[in-house]
Amino acid sequence: MKKTRYDRQPEVLIQGYNNQAWQGWESIVAALKTRLALANKTVLVIDCYPGVRLEEIETRLLPSLNASAIFNVELSRHDEHILQTLLAHNLTDDRVFGVLSCHQLPEFFDNTRMEALRQQIAAVPTGLVVVYGPGASLAHDGDILVYADLPRWEIQQRMRSGELGNWGAANQHEDMLRRYKRAFFIEWRVFDRHKTPLLKRADFLLDTTQADAPAMVSGEAFRAGLAFTVSRPFRVVPFFDPGLWGGQWMKDKFDLDPSKPNYAWCFDCVPEENSLLLRFGDVRIEIPSQDLVLLYPRPLLGEKVHARFGTEFPIRFDFLDTLGGQNLSLQVHPLTEYIQQNFGMHYTQDESYYVLEAEPGSEVYLGTKRGIDPQDMLNDLAAAQRGEKAFDDTKFVNRFPARKHDHFLIPAGTVHCAGAGTMVLEISATPYIFTFKLWDWGRLGLDGLSRPVHLEHGKHVIDWQRDTQWVTERLVNHVEPIAEGEGWREERTGLHEREFIETRRHWFSEPVLHDTQGGVNVLNLVEGAEALVESPAHAFEPFVVHYAETFIVPAAVGQYRISPYGSSLGQQLATMKAWVRG
C-alpha cells in the first residue's frame, strides 16, 4: 500500500525568540538563576498541571537552585478521603460517565494548612524561597512564576502504564476508565480554570512532556508564539491508538509502528487532547493545544463562536479505521437535554461519518428499521447484554453501503455504527466521551474486561423517528450544489439541521478562495496528495497540507486560498470544511 506524506509531528516555527528558549535541566537552571539574581529575597513559584513528574523537579531542578527554603504545596491538600467525599457527586458510581465539575482549585486544599504554609513562606527572611506543585500559586503569587505543563495524551500514557493515578488519590492501579473519567470530568476542568490566568502572566513555561528531557520558554515568547499561531493555518499533533476493532489502513498509510496489532483511532484535531509544537530555533516546546484555546479564543474561534462556546473548541475531526478490522460498537449519542441534565455538559455529540476509503461490500449501520416495535429492540438488546443471545441487528437496524466519499449524517439520538472495512473521517461536536454503547458484538476489551454497555442511558435517548425512510431521506449522501467556477465546485454535504456544524466539500483542480467569515474553519484534504494554503494578501507564509491531514484556519485569518501543489498539479483534489453555523 502506497504511503502518504502525512506529517505526524507538525510544528509552528516561531521567529525572533530563539534566545528565550532552553533545552535540558542544565540550561533551564542557568536561565532561572540569571533571573533569580535580581533581589535579596525572591519567591519562585513552580505551579504544575496534575500529571507533571514532581520527583523529576525535586531531583533535577530544585537542588541546583540553592534555595533557602523549599515548600511542596501538596502537603496542604485535603486528605484523600475528604477529596473523595467532596467529589462523590461528580464521580458517580458509573465506570465511564461522571458529572462535569464546577469546583475551584482552592476547595481541594485545607485552609488551615494553606494559611500555615503562607506564614512559613513569609517568615523566611532572605534568599530564594521555592514553592512548587499543582496549585503552588495559591500559597504565593510568586515574584517569578514558572508554569509546568504537559498534554492530556501524555497524562493518559502515564495512567495506562500504572505510573500515575488521579491527583490526590493513590489509585494508580484502578480501572483505567475510572481514572480517565475522574480526570476528564474533574481534574482537567479545575486545573484549566486555574492555569488560564497563570499562563497570561507566567515568566516561564516549562514543558515536561518527555521524561528527563524538559524544555522551557519565556512567558513572553510563549505568548508571542500562541499569538503568531492564531494568525495562520496550523495543525495540532495527531495521536494514534489501537483498539479492539481497529484496522490496518492508518498503520500502512501513515507509516506507524508495525508492531502494534492495529490502529483504531486517530485524534487529528481535538485540541482538548492534542499537543501543539512550537519551534524556537533549536528548542521545540510541546504544550497542550488547549492552551491556545484558553489564551486566544477570540482570534482562534471568532467572536460569535467564542460567545457561544467560551474556551471550548467545538469541532472535532478524528479517524476511525476498520479496514482489516471489525465493526465499531452499535451506539447512540445523548440528546441535548439529556446530556445537560445528567452530565452537566452544554452540548451533545452530533457527528457524521465521511468515508475516506472503503472495501467492497462495507456498510454503515444507521437508524432503526421502519415498523419495528421499540420495546422489542430494547428487549433484544437487554438479552444480548445478559449474554443470552446475540443482538439481531438485521431485524432492527438499517445498513447502507459505504463507498469512498460517502457522507453519513448522525444527529444525536440516531442509532449508528461504522462497519468493518471503512476508513472514516468523523466530523463531530467535541464532547466525544458521550457514546452510549448499545451492543458490542459480545467482545472483550484489549484489557480483557467486558466493554461497558450503556443500555440504561441509551434507551432514554434513541429517537425512534429515525427509521429507514427518515434516515434515507435526510442523512445519507445529501449533496447540494452551492457554487462553481473554472476548475472548482462547492457542495453542501450537511450536517443535519439539528447539528450546529456546517460542512462543505470543494472539488478543485484550480485555486479556490475561502473566507473564514469571522469563524474558525477546520479542513481535511480528502482527495489529492498535497495542496498549498496561502494568503491572497501575503498575511502568512504558505502552508502545505498532505492527504488526510486536518488543519485549522483561525477566524482571524479571513481570506485564504487552497491550490493543487507539487505532485497534485493538474489533478482533481477535494477538501472537507467544517465551521459553526451562525
Domain limits of the chain? Answer: 12-229, 273-284+296-474, 480-580
The Cα–Cα gap between 304 and 284 comes to 33
Q: What is the pLDDT of residues 296-334, one digit of tens each?
A: 999 999 999 999 999 999 999 999 999 999 999 999 999
- Strand order of the β-sheet with 69-72 is 21-23, 215-218, 204-207, 144-149, 41-48, 127-133, 69-72
Alpha carbons 454 and 435: distance in angstroms, whole number:
9
Specify the length of the chain in residues: 582
Fold of 12-229: Rossmann fold (3.40.50)
Per-residue b or e along 510-523, where b marks 16 or more CB atoms closer than 10 Å to that residue's CB: ebbebebeebbbbb
Cell numbers representing residue 122 in the block: 513569609
Average pLDDT across the chain, whole number: 95
C-alpha cell read off for 416:
449508528
CATH architecture type of domain 273-284+296-474: Sandwich (2.60)
From first CA to last CA, the distance across the chain in angstroms is 42
Q: Tens digit of pLDDT for each residue in 158-181?
A: 999 999 999 999 999 999 999 999
Q: Are 27 and 182 in contact (CB under 8 A)?
A: no
What is the model's pTM?
A: 0.96
Per-residue three-class SS string for 444-484 = ECCCCCECCCCHHHHCCCCCCCCCHHHHHHHCECCCEEEEE
User: Do the first three CATH levels of 12-229 and 273-284+296-474 match, i.e. the same topology?
Assistant: no
- What's the confidence (pLDDT) of residue 33? 94
- CATH no. of 480-580: 2.60.120.10
402 neighbors 362 (Cβ within 8 angstroms): yes
What pLDDT score does 144 carry? Answer: 97
Report which of 332, 391, 393 is spatially closest to residue 363, judged by C-alpha positions: 393
pLDDT recorded at residue 42: 95
Task: Write out residues in the chain with pLDDT < 70, as ranges.
Answer: 1-2, 38-39, 431-432, 445-450
As a whole number of angstroms, the longest Cα–Cα distance in the chain is 81
Q: Could you give the angle at the alpha carbon of 277 between the alpha carbons of 534 and 1, nearest 5°?
A: 75
Q: With both helix axes pointing from N to C terminus, report the angle between 219-229 and 188-201 in degrees, rounded to the nearest 10.
A: 110
Task: Report the alpha-carbon angle 508-514-518, nearest 5.
Answer: 155
Q: Sort 498 into a burial class: Cβ within 10 Å, 0-12 / 13-18 / 19+.
A: middle
Q: What is the DSSP string of 250-302?
A: HHHHTT--TTSS-B-EEEEE-TTT-EEEEEETTEEEEEETHHHHHH-HHHHH-
Q: Which amino acid is at 252?
A: D
Which pLDDT score is estimated for 448?
65
Name the phi and psi angles at 288, rounded to 5: -65, 130
Q: How many other C-beta atoms are found inside a 10 Å radius of the C-beta of residue 482?
A: 12
Strand residues in 73-202 grouped as ranges (E): 127-133, 144-149
